[in-house]
Amino acid sequence: MKIMNQGLEDEMEVWGYRPCLWKRILVGVGSVCSGGLLLLLLYWLPEWGVKGTCTHTSLRDAHTLLLRTTDEFKQWFRARVHVISAPGEKPFDSLDLPSTAQAANGGLCASSEEHHGKSRQPVQINYFSHHSTKYYWNDVMQNFESHKGLEDVKMSCGSIHSDHSPGLPKSLQDYRRLFFGENEIAVRVPSLFTLLMKEVLNPFYIFQLFSVILWSAEDYYYYATAIVFMSVISIATSLYTIKKQYVMLHDMVAAHSVVRVSVCRGSKDIEQALSTDLVPGDVVIIPANGMIMPCDAVLTHGTCIVNESMLTGESVPVTKTSLPASGEEAARSFDMEEHKRHVLFCGTHVIQTRFYAGELVQAVVVRTGFSTEKGQLVRSILHPKPTDFKLYRDAYLFLLCLVGVAGIGFIYTIILSIMNKVPAKTIITESLDIITITVPPALPAAMTAGIVYAQRRLKRVGIFCISPQRINMCGQLNLVCFDKTGTLTEDGLDLWGVQTAESGRFLPPEADPAKESLVDTVFVACMATCHSLTKIEGELSGDPLDLKMFSATGWILEEPTEEETALHNPIMPTVVRPPTHSVPEANQNNMELSELPSCEIGIVRQFPFSSTLQRMSVVVRKLGEKHMKAYLKGAPEVVAHLCKQHTVPQSFTETLETYTRQGFRVIALAHRQLESKLSWHKVQSLGRDLIETNMEFIGLIIMQNKIKEETAGVLLELRQANIRTVMVTGDNMLTAISVARDCGMVRAHEKVIIADAVPPKDFHPASITWHYTENPAQTDKEHRTVEINLEDAVLDKRVTQQEQNYHFAVTGRAFAVLTEHFPQLVQKLVLRATVFARMAPDQKTELVEVLQSIDYTVGMCGDGANDCGALKRAHSGISLSELEASVASPFTSTTSNISCVPNLIREGRAALVTSFCVFKFMALYSIIQYLSVTLLYSILSNLGDFQFLFIDVAIILIIAFTMSLNPAWKELVRQRPPSSLISGRLLCSVLTQIVTCLVFQVLAFLLVRQQSWYETWTPQSDACNVSRSSVSHSQNVTSPRDHKNIKNYENTTLFYVSSFQYLAIAIVFSKGKPFRQPSYKNWPFMLSCMSLYTFVLLIMLYPVPAIDSFLEIVCVPHDWRVTLVIIVIVNAAVSFVLEIVILDIILGRLVFRCNQGVNLPTQPLSAGAPQEANDRWASSFLLWLFCRRNKPPRVSYHQLAIGLKDDADWPPRPATVTYARDLRSHTSAPL
């Protein structure tokens, strides 16, 4: 066994097998003998299929591979090994060297290839395909590996320029295509027949087919037809949905699947080719009018303006610059993530290009096909991880229990029939019939109904769902992560004001930077030039923050035309200038036109904003000046660090904190004058590190990001419902904390502890400094230690007010250090962490995974920008963006605020409770019918076909589909619905109802046989009209009987009693508040129940001969009918008392409260002390009785909370430092 993709998300274990003739013969014989059932079993269980037909061998010699994922799902896959013949063993081998050697740069000159290539012997390479990825055999590793692209060959940025600028010769391109295949994200839309086969071979449909065949053999065509009809509709709906999703996905990637591109061949040759022919290492020309990228490529010459909404969900154009060819940056190893500002990603739209005269905008292909960023997104949609939800796992376990019950009935029927010398055919059909009774074939359709109804209700409130099974998961959410900008706050930013700095001190803030006194200042010049704006079709376009800043200055931006660019040797700069009215009229009158001061500024070089560096800069030149200037803007802390310290005001930190505490977003500006010897060309090759140093601080821009009106109310509703809320943002830490306070995520009396972690440096270990932020409401109080108090015996003991006094706040940088150097602290921190700031997209995904690892059911709500990974990974991802990026999110809301979250959770809870109700009802229906049939089998009788039909269609199907129609309850409550069928409360519910039904059926069955008028029924019997003496006189008379023995007093009695039991169970199980609207508001269900109750009561008390004949029931005395009415009334009353009074009120409150859960941190639930005192003795006794007194918590975050309550060093005290070496002893050193 080997491990593939070690350490990656798709890590797998792999075993090698080769075909075995004798095993295949045995499987063939077994398949014939079992009528194909063995083949189906091997199809459902791939590991059995491989092991049953093959023998184990080494991976190198394998013909078939068995793969198993290493995640919690442990999925099995089967793959067939293929062989290709190639001149080399690896795609980047240099063909003029031995096959094991690699070229230093992955390239090959044409002459050497022609000279040596023909003499090489082809190599046979084993490979296999799995989830749209090819894996090739590596002799050195003795394992299979995948080839991603050019980054497999570790090379520097400079070597990409030097070694790949000419492009690839045709022969080398053909060689690499052997490994990488065609550059295409091929979403094959399966044929309807293929989809039909996959759907029909589902185990449940096979069981339905078996049931239909059996019923047809017994001439029970009516219900068989009903099941076939439901199955056909279910299959047709499923096929339509799946086919539609495939077509949508196909159309999404088709836009760039096959386009014509210009490819460099040698230094000057350019040829037209199809994009499907591209391989890593090819050099493509980006046309001036733009294109949709067919691959991932790194820009080596020129500049591009790109719309990346396909990947990021953000429709703001992004400027991509060429990869550095010299300096420190060029010497660094190329990395897709680190250098993404130079990478054009597959599927993104290049809107415009900029270039030097006589030069072309060129990009080197890095990845192709499914290896690209978009390809990986499509792969994750085509091959998603299975939905891990306890309900579905428990449902299968519960069905296995029913199969076990069916097995007992099966054996009982066979033994009883043999003892009574029943014909073999009857034994077979009746024993198999027990199985179809115990495992209801209509269960999947009934379970799906509640989800379908919930999906329709969600659609009405503007929430669209592409993964209906996730609706149930929403009902268990106990933590929701929110993006900040565009989700909790308004999407755009408003300029609140500016505060300039002179001579190391701040001037008073100004509201309008466009005022005349500021027009000619370096501050406004920096605002007007330091941005990435561009004109697209005459309209300014770019980052909303840049747009707000630029429009506030009132300046005008002009870009050169293509003709102007071509006329000049250097690149024509973008020019900005103030409006003409900015120059005072008096000055204009006194000066000649030539003497007017010019404020036009040309942007010579641009260093785009980098989320890693948290800054951007530009090099500009003012018209008429010889010196160039550099302007810089970015995060205040970063900018201040790059400035000369004497230019940074002494009150910088205090001023910054004042603004950030009020929730403002602050951006700092700086400038510097460059050396006069720098030419335009020299500036183009300089690295940004040389430009962005020794700056002079010039002031702050204060932007206001308003909280959406709905935010505070929704967060309060979630907190009151015991659902924890967390903010995950890319914004500044203090701004994030301020917004968290303003929207109620962190309340006024609560402290925030910032965990500032730094990596090891200069022999110093990694460390965490714990900063306590000031509490605006309680600045005079110092809570240095906070305990988590949970009662030992009862997990949901109300958390004390003292526990609510602190939250952790973590930055993205600190989170990375924590996960690498402090893994033992990560779970402790996330248990109480509420604010995560400066988080990168992959860190958001990682955070979701950490929260899931401590058993939180996590929801993620974002506007689509940078949230794609987290939206996919969360149990329920809710996108507020309708852009293409939300294609991977299970839910998309048309409402652009978070009010959709409680709606989704309410509907999820209602759907989940409905699933439980329906499952319990269908299970009880099976058991009730099983009990009736088993009792009747004891007298060699059975229910009649039309009795089965009436029960299965008129009662069960109508009730099952209408009981799912209860809408969600109007508000969220603290209590959460149970997530497991195998839980004490639900098992008690089901078992008590089974015992109740069994008792009353046995009672009626035995009681009817004790009646004075009872006899073995014959067609001549008429118990309704004969006297007791005549009845007793005729008891010994024998008459011909029906061979099926359907008509008898036991059958009629059990039919009446069981019919009322189905209806009583339906009403008892169909619960409303607190998760669904009361059942009396579900008028289709109530109408169905009342109609059926009335009908059955009428035919029981006032028999109608035609109905009796149709249902094959016999006439019984009126006194017995009244007795039956009393029996069913008492039965219903007992069922109601057991379910509602005993289970829900008494045991539910005192024993099974752990279903509600303690969700840290939330507002404590107010409860009266006298009530708790009254409950304590009963709770203790019942906990002891049910063996739950010292039961440990089932979820990890409860265990963590209990473990921390006795930790005197947690949370760490203010102004202390924790070092990586101190973890075991939990010691901290004071600063």
| Positions marked active-site | 483
Asked if 1168 contacts 1176 with a C-beta cutoff of 8 angstroms, the reply is no
Collapsing DSSP states into helix, strand and coil, what is residue 267? Answer: coil
Closest CA to 571 of 857, 307, 359: 359
For residues 300 and 160, is the Cβ–Cβ distance under 8 A? yes
Closest CA to 1162 of 1210, 1211, 1196, 1201: 1201
Q: Which two tokens stand for residue 995?
A: 């015992």
Burial class (CB in 10 A: 0-12, 13-18, 19+), 210: middle
Cβ pair 277, 173 in contact under 8 A: yes
Q: Which helix (H) or strand (E) holds 343?
A: strand 343-344
Q: Which of 1148, 1202, 1145, 1159 is nearest to 793 (CA)?
A: 1202
Query: 395-411: buried (b, 16+ CB within 10 Å) or exposed (e) per residue?
Result: beebbeebeebbeebbe
Task: Establish whether the linkage from the previous residue to 1019 is cis, with ω within 30° of 0.
Answer: no
Q: Is the peptide bond before 1074 cis (omega within 30 degrees of 0)?
A: yes
Give the whole-angstrom CA distance, residue 641 versus residue 403.
70
Tell how far CA 362 is from the center of its chain: 37
CA dist 746 and 805 (Å) reads 9
Give the whole-angstrom CA distance, residue 299 versus residue 168: 16
What single string gives the DSSP state of each residue in 584-630? -HHHHHHS-GGGSPP--EEEEEEEEEETTTTEEEEEEEETT-SSEEE
Residue 521 tokens, joined: 């200042």
Distance CA 299, CA 353 (A): 11
HSE at residue 1194, side-chain half, CA atoms within 13 A, is 9
Half-sphere exposure of 978 (CA within 13 A, CB side): 20
Task: Extract the runs of DSSP E, i.e. beta strands, from 70-212.
Answer: 76-80, 82-86, 123-130, 133-138, 143-146
Tell me how crowded residue 455 is: count the other CB atoms within 10 A of its CB. 16
d(CA 1165, CA 386): 36
Query: Is 726 within 8 Å of 836 (Cβ atoms)?
Result: yes
| Tokens coding 169 | 């010769």
The pairing of strands 64-69 and 2-4 is unpaired
Structure tokens at 514: 């466009």
Please give the structure tokens belonging to residue 358. Answer: 């006589």
Q: State the first-to-last Cα distance of the chain, in angstroms, to the nearest integer.
A: 51
User: Which residue in 785, 818, 805 sits closest to 1212, CA to CA?
Assistant: 785
The tally of CA atoms less than 13 A away on the side-chain side of residue 751 is 26
Q: How many CA atoms lie within 13 A of 896 on its CB side?
A: 12
Are 211 and 230 in contact by the 8 Å Cβ rule? The answer is no
* DSSP label at residue 170: H
Instruction: With H, G, I as helix, E, B as strand and everything else as coil, classify residue 1050.
Output: helix
Q: Answer whether 791's CB lies under 8 Å from 818's CB.
A: no
Helix (H) or strand (E) holding 157: helix 157-164
Residue 313: name the closest of 868, 860, 898 by CA.
868
